[in-house]
């Protein structure tokens, strides 16, 4: 994805004409744009992770009923059809559903995959499902709040013992330095005198401030990371509730690798497609082993989709929170602080982040970041 940053009918399997709020309307309208789908399908790390996960869960899918929450162009539904699903309900709220229907037909999957143009929360399916697949992750994992629609679908439509693909997610945090952005966005203004003969350096504090207002989506590498990452939160998608997502808080203490300028923090995530105990044969359950690492049979079924800066880039890149002013750290400097992520009060699809940090002798700094507000402003203008 994605969105923004760049951006009971009596008959079965049908949707009501969606009664969308203007916020949801602009959200779903953004998914009518082909460029978002081009970006997602062009992200081979993402799409192949789903393809591998679906085919590695063939036994759980063959002859079974699948629900694809937010089908987009229908790619995941087609994978499930190819993996032998008896029926796939491909629910998509945006007009992209019409393209998905054509794609399903041209792959001769029309008897298996039923595209339903409707909002998940309003769709009435003819039956409960064995498997839910969904690619719901936004920037910084939680942007877009689409996980709420998966939770809704799980509670309403998943049979007891049914499986979720993916079934867990983990959010990570690490302190970073990023000299490149300082050159591109801050020192850039120093160069104006040489380029045009006008000294524009007085704008630098404003440029620096602008950098630290919003959560930025940027690709980082191992060289930017100043300390071992920490887990902000593990989400078990079988257990998570809407209430768990209203605020995700974490207190951290990092020890730095070495001398550097701390310029901010990076947030990234991974999702895991790991066969749940519910899906294991009874004799395997009795062994009561962790299904992810117990044996090769089960191990084979685990696929990880990671957006780590140590791994090949995905279209999610990393979400970066730049500080207003850099702070120098040395080896073993302690960075204390806390982070809280929550859906924005004005638009729950947007993200609000509060970060406080304290290093050595520097005073504590606290900062609020937003993700998505610019989009709303530009929609109003
Ligand atoms: N599954 C596709 C698209 C993923 S993007 C793929 O992997 O390529 C997420 C899609 O979910 C978007 O097309 C968006 O319009 C749709 N979506 C988000 N929330 C939804 C909801 N509540 N009901 C139906 N569709 C939804």
Ligand 1: atom nearest CA of 2 is: 5
Active-site residue among 92, 144, 214, 376? 144
Mean pLDDT of the chain: 89
Residues in the chain: 381
More confident residue, 294 or 53: 53
* Residue 223 designated active-site: no
Describe the strand order of the beta sheet including 129-134 as a list of residue ranges.
113-117, 87-92, 65-69, 129-134, 158-165
Residues 6+ apart with CB under 8 A from 161: 278, 279
> DSSP assignment, residue 64?
-
Strands 303-306 and 216-218 turn out to be unpaired
Task: Band the pLDDT of 275: cuts 50, 70, 90.
Answer: low
What is the pTM for the complete model shown?
Answer: 0.90
Task: Band the pLDDT of 139: cuts 50, 70, 90.
Answer: very high
Q: Which of 284, 348, 273 is nearest to 370 (CA)?
A: 348
**What average pLDDT does the segment 327-342 reach?**
97
Residue whose CB lies within 8 A of the most ligand 1 atoms, among 31, 89, 348, for a mutation test: 31
Residue whose CB lies within 8 A of the most ligand 1 atoms, among 43, 68, 72, for a mutation test: 72
Q: Which of 249, 211, 228 is nearest to 354 (CA)?
A: 249
Q: Cα-atom radius of gyration of the chain, to the nearest Å?
A: 23
pLDDT 10s digits, 353-379: 999 999 988 899 999 999 987 544 444
Q: Which CATH architecture has domain 171-269+310-380?
A: Distorted Sandwich (2.70)
Q: Which residue has the tokens 């109003």?
A: 380
> DSSP assignment, residue 184?
I
φ/ψ of residue 80, rounded to 5: -65, -40
Question: Ligand 1 atom 18: the closest Cα is on which residue?
Answer: 70
pLDDT 10s digits, 66-115: 999 999 999 999 999 999 999 999 999 999 999 999 999 999 999 999 99
* Residue 229 designated active-site: no
Task: Band the pLDDT of 20: cuts 50, 70, 90.
Answer: confident
Q: What percent of the chain has pLDDT over 70?
A: 86
Q: Domain spanning 2-167+280-305: which CATH class is it, in words?
A: alpha beta
Q: 22: CA distance to ligand 1 center in Å? A: 17
Contact 339, 266 (CB under 8 A): no
Question: Ligand 1 atom 7: the closest Cα is on which residue?
Answer: 135
Tell me, what's the pLDDT at 374? 59
pLDDT 10s digits, 170-191: 999 999 999 999 999 999 999 9
Q: 343: CA distance to ligand 1 center in Å? A: 18
Task: Band the pLDDT of 11: cuts 50, 70, 90.
Answer: very low
Tell me, what's the pLDDT at 4? 59
Ligand 1 pocket, CB under 6 A: 1, 28, 31, 40, 70-73, 75-76, 91-94, 96, 119-121, 135, 146, 149
Residue whose CB lies within 8 A of the most ligand 1 atoms, among 35, 44, 53, 92, for a mutation test: 92
| Distances, alpha carbon 308 to alpha carbons 29, 180, 224, 301, 302, in Å | 29, 19, 12, 21, 18
Question: Ligand 1 atom 26: the closest Cα is on which residue?
Answer: 70
Ligand 1: atom nearest CA of 27 is: 15
Question: Ligand 1 atom 11: the closest Cα is on which residue?
Answer: 70
> Which residue ranges make up each domain of the chain?
2-167+280-305, 171-269+310-380
Bridge partners for 3 per DSSP: none
Question: Ligand 1 atom 1: the closest Cα is on which residue?
Answer: 71
Q: What percent of the chain has pLDDT over 90?
A: 79
Q: 39: CA distance to ligand 1 center in Å? A: 14
Question: Ligand 1 atom 13: the closest Cα is on which residue?
Answer: 72
Ligand 1: atom nearest CA of 123 is: 23
- Tell me whether domains 2-167+280-305 and 171-269+310-380 share a fold: no
Q: Which of 313, 275, 318, 317 is nearest to 294 (CA)?
A: 275
Structure tokens at 354: 């509060």
Contact 54, 121 (CB under 8 A): no
């Amino acid at each position: 994805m994605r969105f923004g940053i760049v951006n009971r009918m009596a008959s079965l399997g049908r949707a009501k004409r969606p009664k969308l709020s203007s916020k949801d309307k602009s959200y779903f309208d953004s998914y009518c744009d082909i460029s978002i789908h081009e970006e997602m399908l062009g992200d081979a790390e993402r799409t192949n992770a789903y393809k591998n996960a679906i085919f590695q869960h063939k036994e759980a899918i063959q002859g079974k009923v699948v629900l694809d929450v937010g089908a987009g162009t229908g790619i995941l539904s087609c994978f499930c059809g190819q993996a032998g699903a008896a029926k796939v309900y491909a629910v998509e709220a945006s007009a992209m559903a019409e393209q998905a229907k054509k794609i399903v037909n041209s792959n001769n999957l029309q008897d298996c995959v039923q595209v339903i143009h409707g909002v998940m929360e309003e769709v009435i399916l003819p039956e409960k499902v064995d498997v839910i697949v969904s690619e719901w992750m936004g920037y910084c994992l939680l942007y877009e709040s689409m996980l709420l629609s998966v939770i809704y679908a799980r509670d309403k439509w998943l049979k007891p013992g049914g499986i979720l693909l993916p079934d867990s997610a983990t959010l990570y945090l690490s302190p970073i330095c990023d000299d490149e952005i300082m050159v591109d966005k801050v020192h850039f203004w120093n160069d104006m005198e040489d380029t045009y003969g006008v000294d524009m350096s007085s704008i630098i504090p404003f440029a620096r401030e602008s950098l630290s207002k919003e959560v930025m989506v940027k690709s980082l590498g191992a060289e930017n990371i100043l300390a071992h990452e920490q887990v902000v939160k593990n989400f078990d998608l079988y257990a998570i509730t809407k209430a768990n997502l209203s605020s995700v808080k974490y207190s951290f203490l990092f020890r730095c690798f070495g001398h550097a300028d701390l310029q901010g923090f990076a947030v990234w995530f991974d999702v895991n497609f790991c066969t749940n105990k519910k899906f294991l044969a009874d004799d395997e359950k009795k062994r009561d082993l962790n299904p992810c690492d117990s044996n090769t049979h089960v191990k084979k079924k685990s696929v990880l989709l990671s957006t780590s800066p140590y791994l090949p880039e995905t279209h999610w890149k990393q979400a970066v929170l730049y500080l207003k002013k850099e702070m120098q750290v040395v080896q073993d400097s302690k960075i204390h602080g806390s982070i809280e992520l929550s859906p924005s009060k004005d638009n729950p699809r947007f993200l609000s982040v509060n970060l406080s940090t304290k290093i050595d002798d520097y005073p504590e700094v606290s900062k609020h970041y937003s993700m998505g507000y610019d989009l709303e402003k530009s929609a109003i203008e």
